[in-house]
Amino acid sequence: MKTINDFSFQHKKALIRVDFNVPLDENFNVTDANRIEAAKPTIDAILADGGSVILMSHLGRPKGKEDKYSLKYIVKKTEEVLGKPVHFASDCIGTVAETAAAQLKPGEILLLENLRFYTEEEAGDLEFSKKLAQLGDIYVNDAFGTAHRAHASTTIIAQFFEGKKCFGTLLAKEIESLNRVLKDSEKPVTAVLGGSKVSSKITVIENILDKVDHMIIGGGMTFTFIKALGGQVGDSICEDDKLQLALDILHLAKEKNVHIHIPVDVVAANAFSNDAETQIVDVREIPKGWQGLDAGPKSLENFKEVIMNSKTILWNGPLGVFEMENFAKGTIALGNYIAESTQKGAFSLVGGGDSVAAVKQFGLEPKMSYVSTGGGAMLEMLEGRTLPGIAAILS
């Protein structure tokens, strides 16, 4: 696995695929610079090694060249984060981009215009990829968030850099962290899977059953399992067409000697609202008109015991509707258990949009071993798929 440490960037132009798909407010100010900050170690290392960097990224889903999706709006924030001036090219291919790239001196940074201003980017067009490739000497992919897409700048472009392509620091760390869970894990390994639907996690569950010792199932998925086992779930979210699937998962887990932990009690509410009436009930006896919106205290005690005895922990999905304060306690408690276990030497990997949002919201991010930057990409790796953006560097 080649990384930036395997190359000398002295007087070389590094063409880096970054993920600067950041949120902007109505005045085009960047409201969350996390993705820019995540790319900083790679950029800093290449500049320190005597190279220059050309950054390419997409922003949003523009229909043609829409000004509101121009990367010119993130130049100021990028300069702030990197602590250096950033040149901007008002196109990502053609004369404008080629001239800007040719004039770049060692130690300088160039940001190209939004790749998705061209439909060829998402189409994985070969000619478009070739035009991008002409701008740099070494190709660096540091965009995990888009590694599962076979787009021009993430995958196709790599074929023009035979022997001159590598992973950036961020992408290398993502692969390494996932491999620590999926391939080189220290046992016991526990996976915490939350979220609302079994159907969206089925391939993940099937793929990781061979790799884990314990699986905690939480969130809305709980009720499909409980109903399949003959429990009353009231008005809780439930996939009635997946009851047999839930039973099959439990059967498969038993065959593989994986211990499945499902909530035994829940915080139930009489409406999907933070102001609803609540009561703690047995998960198998949720009254009609009530729905489970968070894990209950007994469940959390059980989960704590499992987490504290784990050496490797994967967390993908919250235990309840954490966006509502009254149903966030389970997710916060789980985060604290994982943080405590991590402090005692366990390796913890958090991934998937909602889990990442939760650890950030509750200030738990620094207490985890690694928080993934790519939701869809991480999910596909957990499903056992080879991501095209990663395969392109390895080939």
Active site residues: 35, 197, 353, 376
Q: What is the torsional sign of CA 155, 157, 160, 161?
A: negative
Read off φ and ψ for residue 27, nearest 5 degrees. -100, 15
CB count within 10 Å of CB 19 equals 24
Q: What is the distance between the alpha carbons of residues 240 and 316, in angstroms, rounded to a whole number?
A: 23
DSSP string for 200-211: TTHHHHHHHTTT
* Closest by CA position to 316, among listed 222, 384, 215: 215
Maximum pairwise Cα distance, the chain = 70
DSSP string for 29-40: -BS--HHHHHHH
Q: Which amino acid is at 262?
A: I
Q: Which amino acid is at 219?
A: G
3-state secondary structure of 295: strand
Tell me if 236 sits within 8 A of 286, measured CB to CB: yes
Q: Which amino acid is at 74?
A: I
